Amino acid sequence: MKTGPLYGIIANSKTRMRCVFCGVYIPKANKCIEEHTNGTKHKENIDQMAENGMIYNNEELYCKPCNVNLTEEESVASHIESDDHANWMAAVDNLIEGEFINVDSYLASESEDVYCEVCNCNINCSLQNIETHVNDILHRSNVAEKLKPLNGIFRVENDDELWCKLCDEYIENTAKSVLEHIDDSPEHVEWFIDIEDLIDGQEVSIQDFLKDEHEKNAFCNKCQVEIVCNARSIEDHVHSEAHLNQFS
């Protein structure tokens, strides 16, 4: 019989069981319990727990982000949809977007910390702690350094400036200027929108072009050929008969 901590099935009375994960009652019969625990909804709730910082302990569900034990009337799904939980998840997603901070271990209840990949450090998981970290000047500098080779930005002889290969423009050599250029320069943003739209699903790589200031080409892994890395050349290639035949 699939009962206990792994399945969230506990006794409720002599004739029925309760699924803590799904917030439903089940007849106390092996067939009914098996059908429930093998069901899509039950399995989805278990997956959602590992993605939302929820723990099953001592016949209770505990949500780490909200710091609450769920009532008997609540299920995993209903709690995730609650305002408090949804607001926390939205807030943390907003804080870590583009910041190279990984929250998976925290949400899977494997750690009480989140991990900053660019600073190589753990941060005790609270919204305040994460906000403080992402606004720290060292973190901002580390993010800028991480993004330079992903955005075609290179050092020049003048240490006060950097050169953006995509825009053929010089920018101030500060973390603030780099991040503002990447996020707010219309020409820079539009270059990525145009190119990424063309190469999506086409097995065309622009990584070497972005990392090497002297590289002029993108590379089609499907056709094993180089392509001049601009929108027109890439568009011509991905629509060419030779390329399309590789996908037929």
As a whole number of angstroms, the distance between CA 89 and CA 123 comes to 17
Number of domains the chain is built from: 3
Task: State the pTM of this model.
Answer: 0.81
Domain boundary among 81, 105, 127: 81
Beta bridge mates, 61? 56
Number of residues assigned to the chain: 248
CA dist., res. 228 & res. 165, Å (int): 14
141 in a structural domain: no
pLDDT value, residue 235: 95
Rg of the chain on CA atoms, in Å: 25
Given strand 204-205, what is the order of strands in its sheet? Answer: 204-205, 217-220, 225-228
**Pair 74, 114 in one domain:** no
pLDDT tens figures, 95-142: 999 999 999 999 999 999 999 999 999 999 999 999 999 999 999 999
The dihedrals phi and psi of 173, each to the nearest 5 degrees, come to -85, 70
Task: State residue 96's pLDDT score.
Answer: 97
* 145 assigned to some structural domain: no
Q: Do 115 and 180 belong to one domain?
A: no
**What is the arrangement of strands in the sheet containing 54-57, beginning at the earlier edge strand?**
54-57, 60-63, 68-69
Q: What is the pLDDT of residue 132?
A: 98
Same domain, 219 and 232: yes
> Tens of pLDDT along 77-97?
999 999 999 999 999 999 999
Q: Is residue 73 in a domain? A: yes
pLDDT at 1: 47
| Average pLDDT, consecutive stretches of 10 residues, N- to C-terminus, the chain (248 residues) | 62 80 88 90 92 88 93 89 96 96 95 97 97 97 96 94 96 96 96 96 96 96 95 95 87
φ, ψ at 201 (rounded to 5°) = 75, 10
Range of the domain at 119: 83-135
Based on the fold, state whether residues 118 and 45 are members of the same structural domain. no
**pLDDT at position 5:** 53
| DSSP structure string for 68-108 | EEPPTT--HHHHHTSHHHHHHHHHHHHHHTTTTEE-HHHHT
Q: Count CA within 13 A, CB hemisphere, residue 209.
A: 18
Contact 131, 95 (CB under 8 A): yes
User: String of b and e for 122-145 (b: at least 16 CB within 10 Å)?
Assistant: ebebeeeebeebbeeeebbbbbbe
**Count of CB atoms within 10 A of residue 8's CB?**
26
Q: Are residues 87 and 121 in the same domain?
A: yes
Asked if residue 197 and residue 177 are part of one domain, the reply reads yes
Helical H segments across the chain, by residue range: 30-37, 40-51, 76-80, 83-96, 104-107, 127-134, 137-147, 175-184, 186-199, 207-211, 231-238, 241-246
